[in-house]
Chain A
Amino acid sequence: MMLIDCPWCGPRNETEYGYGGEAHVAYPADPSALNDNEWAKFLFYRKNPKGLFAERWVHAAGCRRWFNAVRDTVTYEFKATYKPGETQPIKTTNAPPTNASAPGGTK
């Protein structure tokens, strides 16, 4: 059993959570301008680093909220969890863009 620290509910069992893939994948500013290759890369291409990785998780059986987590892909250890829009407590290679106030999927 592994405990994951929900930013709203505190530590809960991992079985209450769902995984949502890589975090901070920005929605294209002008989706219609993308060609098929660029669109496919936005939809399907994700980083797969060894070590710290920012991911989206959902507390599905609890408060049903999405949040971000920094997890070590080698040890599975959760280093930090943070609410959407909050600054990353630990830097990862897939960090959110600096202009995070921009509308769209930057959160």
Chain B
Amino acid sequence: MAEQVLNDISTLRTSPLAHLQSALEQGSVSGERGVKVREIAFTTQIGVRAEPGSAAHAAIAAELGIALPEGVGSVCGTTDGIAVLWLGPDEFLAVAPEGTEMADRLVRALGDEPGQVVDLSANRSVIELSGPSARAVLEKGCPADLHPRSLATGSAITTTLGPVPLLLWKTGEETFRLLPRASFADYTARWLLDGMLEFASAPID
């Protein structure tokens, strides 16, 4: 009997929200009060820990070609290329589309210096919420101030949405990326769909 050989293991992959894909499409609302939700599956995410000012910090920044963010909220790099989010004074998360081989490069760049480079790609899933009503949906359960004067486009903070701890990354004027842990992705998506429901019908005066 011929042995079955699987050449491309990625065909076996299932993203945390694959089972909700049609629900996310149907739940999205277009128009003036529109809000759309989608999953951005299979991103590469690398957890980086390095003390600012140390050799490890400089080496990682040099390998990425991006300065590491310096304070709360700041994000370096580009949204659709490699972006580095600030998680803590010595803790960062590099997010990129798959296929960058970033983990190996950064591990080599870190070398024996004190610090940490860990592939956390499957740890957080990415949900994108966009549209004129996106902020209104998030404000139903996020204690952080989401007004543009406080949360500028291109910044990211660690906060909570309902009971779910997540990274909230504002990538556009009306676009937010939410990065909850993969095990919370299903709950977060259903929470968002519930919050989006009212915008499908006309406002009640």
Give residues in A with beta carbon < 8 Å to B: 1, 8-10, 12-13, 15-16, 61-65
Contacts and interface: CB of A to CB of B under 8 A. Distances in A.
Given A1-B143, A61-B165, A12 B88 contact: no
Interface residues of B, number: 13
Contact of A65 (B88, B159, B165): B88
Interface of B: 71-72, 87-89, 91, 143-144, 157-160, 165
Nearest to A6: B72
Interface secondary structure of A, over-half rule: loop
Contacts of A9: 72, 157-158
Contacts of B143: 1, 12-13, 15-16
B88 A61 contact: no
Across the A-B interface, the 7 shortest Cβ-Cβ residue pairs:
A13-B143, A63-B88, A9-B72, A61-B165, A62-B158, A61-B160, A8-B89
Given A1-B143, A9-B72, A10-B72, A61 B91 contact: no
A62 B159 contact: yes
Given A62-B157, A65-B89, 19 more contacts: A8-B71, A8-B72, A9-B72, A9-B157, A12-B144, A13-B143, A13-B144, A15-B160, A16-B143, A61-B160, A61-B165, A62-B159, A63-B72, A63-B87, A63-B88, A63-B89, A63-B158, A64-B91, A65-B88
